[in-house]
Structure 1
Amino acid sequence: MSKRLSTSIRVALAGALSLGLVAASSAAELRLAHFMSPMHHMQKRMMQPLADKLAAETGGEVTIRIFPSGELSKSGAAQWKTALTGVADITFGLQGYTSETFPRTMFAVAPGLFHSSAEATTAMWENVDALAPDYERAKLLAMWAAEPAIIMTKDVPIRTMDDMKGLKIRTADQVGAAIVQALGGTPVPLPASEMYTAIDTGVIDGIMSDASTIESFKLHEVANYFTVGLPSSTSAYFLVMNRRSFDGLTADQQAALDALTGRELSMTAAESYATEAARGLDMVRAAGKTIIEVEPAVLEDFHAKSDTVMQSMLKSAEAAGVDGKAIVEGLRGGASATR
């Protein structure tokens, strides 16, 4: 074999190896972490379909491996940090668990602002540019809201504000805690996983949460009264991605992921929460428990107290250099798209 031919073969082999390395580097398995059960409706209706579609759109180059039940990060409050540090490539969590990190988005869960998950989620995306600074350290894939919270109690039916006095009510975030306090109750911050045992054993008297948690945590077994229609807060959620993980994808892969996420995926999640809330209340009825709708005259008292929470939020935002009034006006305007 001539020296020239040998050199040509070596160059060809090097080129083939180089192409092989490029092809290998274009494949990626993304780790998606969440702290819920693998049977949770978000995994079934949002996360797994996203994984399936992304694999199909990229010809199997980009796959998502889901780690449920806190396998990568047990704490619900740690999900944002889990994405930022790269422990997981993608995480699902609640902004309310670290409210101070999301001063703009928390206005989307303010009391009495929205009547449904679809309305709140639409408003969030209509104002995505105003909320974007909350997510600048990560790649925002989706953000959405649940249905407005209800109050579930074991022994005391909530029909008037006087019924709230002195009750220990589980809350998920600072906004919910402020509402409970304004209504005369004592807020008790607890992770969702502890709600069932806490109300069953009397550690708390009740729970403020959206009705989707009824089925997820079997709350119809331990609560007896479910007060609906209050001007309460809701819960906001996020699906975010580590910036370096996103930048490591090819341009075509990024485009495929962008096409499958964003507003449309968020509305799918909101719809799922609405479905689960309705199912939860159906379970309450089937269990023979009591659903209470507050009388209109009494509802005005609840609205007045809830408004003090909004005013407090606006003052705190102003102190932090956030134009809360502009955000609230924008959110109210954005909600009109669903009415």
Structure 2
Amino acid sequence: MLRKIAFGLAATAMMSSAQAQEVVLKVAHFLPPMSTMHSRFIVPWCDKIEAESKGRMKCQIYPAMQLGGTPPQLLSQVRDGVADIVWTISGYTPGRFPISEVFELPFMTTTHEASARAVWDFIDEHAASEFEGVKRIANWVVGPYVIHLRDKDLKTIEDFRGMKIRAPSRLGNRMLTALGATPVGMPVPQISESLSRGVIDAAIVPWEVVPATKAHELTKFHVEVSGGRSLTTATSIYVMNQKRYDSLPPELKKVIDDNSGREVSAWVAAEFKVGDEGGRAAALGRGNKITEIPADEVKRWKDASQPVVDEWIAEVTSKGHDGRKLYERAVELVEKHSRN
């Protein structure tokens, strides 16, 4: 009898221990479930950590700000533990990422995967302190930004004058100002209504965002730049609350670690590339016009936006860093990974 009782107590203790080690991670972001970010990265990433942890670690995903708040509050939510993991755009919290935002400068980035690897390495070297309080899982830039216009095409720098254009970040705002447009800052979820009501004449977003925001239904013209460099882009961060990570047992930390880093960042970027192809196809499917700006005109845009680069270098230098060296290192890393 005593042996049976002892066995029962031991079994109960083992079951309690196993249950205590089951972890459910709250993962939040601001786009709908049909978005590239949700369907092609967050869901597969969560499936992967569940499989590798043998079911001991799972995700509960909250798309479209279902935990409440607004997109600019996601970073605070993960720092404060409202969410365990979030994906957001660093430009939604101006001033919080003054060094790593270098990749949002005009004509900085190239291909999806190469730029993602450059971002990860650069942050490792120079901007890890910007992520204090969170564990970095992935850092990357989304695909090249495209100008999506309601009812007017754009071919030269002069065409920017008088246009109200949604920009992705403070550096995107400065670039549009330098090109002669009036920048209007807003998170991605506000784009559809703003285009529909005529609050903005155009929006700068990557192709992959188009289906989720119905931008291809609200615009008729789309402008790409030639030359292999992005007009501008946005730095994405996928991060975990540091205390939540620290509370995990070693074997579950390893699962998170194995699914973090440079190559995971490149994987996300590659999925965004697929999303870009789908968004572009959706625009073409509606008969919309896509214009590619030729090299000589792109040079005019690049020359006009050079003051944005110079101003960023001066700002960062004024805060005690070597702005020129940081800029040159970012360029060097992009070129290095673009050659590989």
Asked if the contact 1:144–1:236 (Cα under 8 Å) also holds between the matched residues in 2, the reply is yes
- Structure 1 counterpart of 2:224, one-letter code: V
1:124-181 CA-to-partner distances (Å, cap 9, x unmatched) read 1232232211112211111111112121212332111110011111112101100111
Q: Distance in 1 between matches of 2:297 and 2:56?
A: 58
1:12-53 CA-to-partner distances (Å, cap 9, x unmatched) read 887776655543332211111112112222222211112212
1:148 corresponds in structure 2 to 144
Q: Secondary structure at the match of 1:204?
A: coil
Q: Does 1:229 align with 2:229?
A: no
Q: Distance in 2 between matches of 1:141 and 1:306?
A: 32
2:275 corresponds in structure 1 to 276
Aligned with residue 179 of structure 1, among 175, 179, 183: 175
Instruction: Summarize the alignment of residues 85-164 of structure 1 with structure 2, pairs less than 5 Å apart.
Output: 85-127=80-122, 128-164=124-160
Asked if the contact 1:232–1:306 (Cα under 8 Å) also holds between the matched residues in 2, the reply is no
- Per the TM alignment, residue 74 of structure 1 is displaced from its structure 2 partner at its CA by 3.8
Q: CA separation of 1:224/1:166 partners in 2, compared to 1, >3 Å: closer, same or farther?
A: same
Q: Distance in 1 between matches of 2:303 and 2:40?
A: 37
Q: Distance in 1 between matches of 2:278 and 2:188?
A: 18
- Per the TM alignment, residue 114 of structure 1 is displaced from its structure 2 partner at its CA by 1.4
Q: Does 1:207 align with 2:203?
A: yes
Larger deviation, residues 103-112 vs 325-334: 325-334
- Per the TM alignment, residue 105 of structure 1 is displaced from its structure 2 partner at its CA by 1.4
Q: Does 1:252 align with 2:248?
A: no
4+ long deviations beyond 6 Å: 8-17
Q: Secondary structure at the match of 2:237?
A: strand
- Per the TM alignment, residue 326 of structure 1 is displaced from its structure 2 partner at its CA by 2.5
1:178-225 CA-to-partner distances (Å, cap 9, x unmatched) read 011111111111221221221222111111122222222121111122
Select the structure of larger CA radius of gyration.
1
Q: Distance in 2 between matches of 1:70 and 1:267?
A: 25
2:75 corresponds in structure 1 to 80
Q: Secondary structure at the match of 1:102?
A: coil
Aligned-residue sequence identity (percent) comes to 26
1:291 corresponds in structure 2 to 290
Q: Distance in 1 between matches of 2:195 and 2:7?
A: 70
Asked if the contact 1:73–1:79 (Cα under 8 Å) also holds between the matched residues in 2, the reply is no
TM-score normalised over the length of structure 1:
0.91
Aligned with residue 164 of structure 2, among 153, 164, 168: 168
Larger deviation, residues 257-266 vs 320-329: 320-329
Q: Secondary structure at the match of 2:290?
A: strand
1:303 corresponds in structure 2 to 302
Q: Secondary structure at the match of 2:30?
A: coil
Asked if the contact 1:170–1:188 (Cα under 8 Å) also holds between the matched residues in 2, the reply is yes
Asked if the contact 1:104–1:322 (Cα under 8 Å) also holds between the matched residues in 2, the reply is no
Larger deviation, residues 54-63 vs 19-28: 19-28
Larger deviation, residues 203-212 vs 250-259: 203-212
Asked if the contact 1:149–1:210 (Cα under 8 Å) also holds between the matched residues in 2, the reply is yes
Structure 1 unaligned residues grouped into runs of 5+: none
Instruction: Summarize the alignment of residues 292-331 of structure 1 with structure 2, pairs less than 5 Å apart.
Output: 292-331=291-330
- Structure 1 counterpart of 2:157, one-letter code: M
Asked if the contact 2:313–2:327 (Cα under 8 Å) also holds between the matched residues in 1, the reply is no
Asked if the contact 1:149–1:232 (Cα under 8 Å) also holds between the matched residues in 2, the reply is yes
- Structure 1 counterpart of 2:35, one-letter code: H
- Per the TM alignment, residue 320 of structure 1 is displaced from its structure 2 partner at its CA by 2.4
Q: Distance in 2 between matches of 1:328 and 1:19?
A: 55
Larger deviation, residues 174-183 vs 57-66: 57-66
2:38 corresponds in structure 1 to 43
1:234-265 CA-to-partner distances (Å, cap 9, x unmatched) read 01111111111101100111011110222222
Asked if the contact 2:115–2:338 (Cα under 8 Å) also holds between the matched residues in 1, the reply is no
Q: Distance in 2 between matches of 1:312 and 1:45?
A: 36
Asked if the contact 2:46–2:58 (Cα under 8 Å) also holds between the matched residues in 1, the reply is yes
Q: Secondary structure at the match of 2:95?
A: helix
Q: Secondary structure at the match of 2:271?
A: helix
Q: Does 1:337 align with 2:303?
A: no
Structure 2 unaligned residues grouped into runs of 5+: none
Count of aligned pairs: 334
Aligned with residue 55 of structure 2, among 52, 55, 60: 60
Q: Secondary structure at the match of 1:317?
A: helix
Asked if the contact 2:113–2:267 (Cα under 8 Å) also holds between the matched residues in 1, the reply is no
Q: Distance in 1 between matches of 2:183 and 2:236?
A: 21
1:220 corresponds in structure 2 to 216
- Per the TM alignment, residue 318 of structure 1 is displaced from its structure 2 partner at its CA by 1.6
- Structure 2 counterpart of 1:217, one-letter code: T
